[in-house]
Amino acid sequence: MARLLGAILAGGRATRFGSDKAAALLDGRRLIDHAIDALSPHVAAIAICGRIEDGQLCLPDRPGPDMGPLGGLNAALHHAQAHGFAGVLSTGCDMPFYPADLPALLIGERAAILDGQQLLGWWPAALAPELDAHLAEDNNRSIRGWLARIGARTVTLPGLVLPNINRPDDLAAIRRDRG
């Protein structure tokens, strides 16, 4: 089995959330800790992208700060390429769940994302120079533009509904649902 790097994309400003989303609590634990635990069984190592976390491999966004999720993904791809990882499985710091069967559906010859969750993806390490080129161009650095450029596949898991935590109300709804 190929060695995979897990990337927790955590460099966002969380403007809609209003505070540090990664540090928000669910079941008494930070969202970022849930994301780390959910992704860890599927990868050889975890990298936190765009944020400093004690005791974790932390990668600054590349080529610089405020690049959005693609800056974190770019840092993870370059780390993966430089350290012998086949590719990167990514998730957001606000994604406390990672379906066990998702990696098998995502991993392939080309990049893939989960339908409706653009940060839950598979990215072959060989894409690092292509993402450098994309970020160097005059564009809005949207993940949608990147996905179109590389022809990423979209994977669907029937019946799967994952929470999208953008506002405090979204987190409150998950807390209510979990009882």
pLDDT single digits (tens) 72-117: 999 999 999 999 999 999 999 999 989 999 999 999 999 999 998 9
**Residues with Cβ within 8 Å of residue 78, at least 6 apart in sequence:** 62, 128
- Domains contained in the chain, CATH given: 4-177 (3.90.550.10)
Annotation: binding site for Mg(2+)? 94
pTM over 0.85: yes
Q: Helices 128-136 and 143-150 meet at what angle, rounded to 10?
A: 130
Annotation: binding site? 9-11, 21, 61, 94
Annotation: binding site for GTP? 9-11, 21, 61, 94
Cα distance between residue 94 and residue 164, in whole Å? 8
